A and B are shown apart, each in its own frame.
Chain A
């Protein structure tokens, strides 16, 4: 069970992130989660939103380079230790985590953590056997 994430290449220059977000706003794309990986020259904007097809097509039309990746989303409860527990499970299963970010759910007292790992299937299975469910796209909205 995984969710789809769009990554967008953004040059690390003043106004470039604003430009991309304005573009998405103009096309009524509602963002659910985002993170940015930055280097001195460029950044990778990663987003999860309500209409992935629309978001990717408007970005491509706007001349942005994009790619879609399947990532894992795991619901965690708003209490100390929830994240550590998940990471422990993945570590024990020898899963490599490329990056991770989190966002609050619209439901009270819960959040989601997004995990980009080297092997989605193995990671999901390891989490499942520890009783941790991975979310699908619809669940996030």
Chain B
């Protein structure tokens, strides 16, 4: 039995949603044109005025924004309201360059928390639930977003932040947490720690988990569901648009519903910028339809994705996006082949290896090298070198089948690959050092 937080939007007809989007977009373009010089210049350069935008169908006329624009405009260049109207900032981790700082008015925060509340309700959350928020709090949007969403739902909120895993487990057990929100790698780590402590999934009360902020695979989902005894829901978002809750998964677990009454999604050809029809794979672009302080129009996420309007059994009519199939900026090009780390992870899990791996790319005499280190499990260990070498070769062959290039596989001792309690570092591209 599906539950909705805001059924009037989540289950609205396509025509109703288009009407909402059109009305909001016309208003938003005016707001941005009047208040954001940086974007006004881009529009002027393209010869577009707010009068040209009469409905959502005119969106394609507007210029794109990219991460580079955000860097250029740092920190206030894309702010669309007086700072005195803003109540908070959040910021990206800055792992791919200069930080992005996003501003929020109180209304922006409210709408964002509504989006997170939709995600929690879709995962079965009610006011009866105890929601453990184990995303980092602070500049990172994960903690605050789910925290606010949990308040809106009326769940008892445990503002744990990330880290201190034993304390997480103690609160989880003593206060009977039923929902956990964190990064998938941290969820896997908690599952592993429970196992080490000899606590079975039956001894905890968790029923659902909402995991996002980093790429993860279906195989990893199954592992987490098993180790925590829960149903695991994906959530998507980015600081540039608000934070988690831009899109969320329902019980069908076949993609994430985009909160398209707030965020309009397009798929474009990353090379030409041309808008692609529904069902085609391309770069995901978002337009914030009603944000006041930091309203990005046609922001290129670099996430490669497919959108679908197929009827969802949950009853929501919101368009669905697939799990990002990689980011165009963490996509590796190895010997001319496009490689997404998630592809390698899929092979590892399919072959029965642990999801703790490290990909190292380097260049030796003008040829790219790919090294994959993965932690050995007792099941794979043998007393003869011959058998272990055969396992390494078999795994290398499976990766070669998936990617078309030959990796060197290294089986390493357990717990030797660094685990983070935040974002997992799984790729080291040493070639960048020589650029």
Contact = CB atoms under 8 A, between A and B. Distances in A.
A65 B47 CA distance: 66
A134 interface: no
Given A39-B389, A42-B388, A69 B413 contact: no
B378 A10 contact: no
B415 A67 contact: no
B413 A66 contact: no
Contact of B383 (A10, A11, A46): A46
Given A65-B376, A65-B377, A66-B378, A10 B385 contact: no
A44 B383 contact: yes
Given A65-B377, A67-B381, A67-B382, A9 B413 contact: yes
Contacts, number: 50
B410 A9 contact: no
Given A7-B381, A9-B376, A9-B381, A65 B386 contact: no
Given A9-B413, A63-B415, A65-B413, A39 B381 contact: no
B412 A44 contact: no
Interface string B368-383: 0000000011100111
A99 B415 CA distance: 29
Nearest to A38: B385
Interface in B382-405: 382-386, 388-389
A5 B384 CA distance: 12
Given A11-B416, A65-B377, A66-B378, A42 B411 contact: yes
Nearest to B376: A65
Contacts of B411: 9, 42
B414 interface: yes
A53 interface: no
Contact of A67 (B383, B385, B413, B416): B383
Contacts of A92: none
A98 interface: yes
A32 to B, nearest CB: 17
A39 B385 contact: yes
Interface of B: 376-378, 381-386, 388-389, 410-416
Interface of A: 5, 7, 9-11, 37, 39, 41-42, 44, 46, 60, 63-67, 69, 98-99, 116
30 contacts: A7-B381, A7-B382, A7-B383, A9-B381, A9-B411, A9-B413, A11-B412, A11-B413, A11-B416, A39-B389, A41-B410, A42-B411, A42-B413, A44-B384, A44-B385, A46-B383, A60-B378, A63-B414, A64-B414, A65-B376, A65-B377, A65-B378, A66-B378, A66-B381, A67-B378, A67-B382, A67-B383, A98-B384, A98-B386, A116-B384
